[in-house]
């Protein structure tokens, strides 16, 4: 089975997800959060650094639960920024 290469948007979305999870983790250790979510610290590290930009749904759900983030919040925060958002960031 050949995996289709990720689009630039999929990579950017993965980077946004990783940054959001890193921010939500705050002072908690990567090991602590990963254990609470039932995933390996290496999996969390890959997601946070964008090396795993398309994690499995259940992995994302487990991490969101461990961090106290709603899936709705994650989806909104990881969505492609609109032109208005881009303008606000550069203003």
Q: Can you list the domains of the chain with their CATH numbers? A: 8-79 (1.10.260.40)
Question: At 84, is the pLDDT very low, low, confident or very high (cuts 50, 70, 90)?
Answer: low
The mean pLDDT value for 20-39 works out to 97
pLDDT at 90: 45
Q: What's the pLDDT tens digit per position in 41-83?
A: 999 999 999 999 999 999 999 999 999 999 999 999 888 776 5
Residue 74 phi/psi, 5-degree rounding, is: -60, -45
Alpha helices in 1-91 (DSSP H): 8-25, 30-37, 41-49, 57-67, 71-78, 83-90
- With tokens 């920024």, the residue in question is 81
């Amino acid at each position: 089975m050949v995996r289709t290469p990720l689009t630039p948007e999929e990579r950017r979305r993965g980077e946004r997800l990783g940054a959001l999870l890193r921010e939500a983790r705050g002072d908690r250790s990567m090991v602590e959060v990963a254990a609470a979510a039932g995933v390996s610290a290496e999996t969390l590290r890959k997601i946070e650094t964008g090396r795993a930009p398309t994690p499995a749904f259940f992995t994302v759900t487990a991490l969101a639960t461990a961090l106290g983030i709603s899936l709705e919040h994650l989806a909104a925060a990881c969505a492609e920024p609109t032109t208005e958002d881009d303008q606000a960031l550069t203003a």
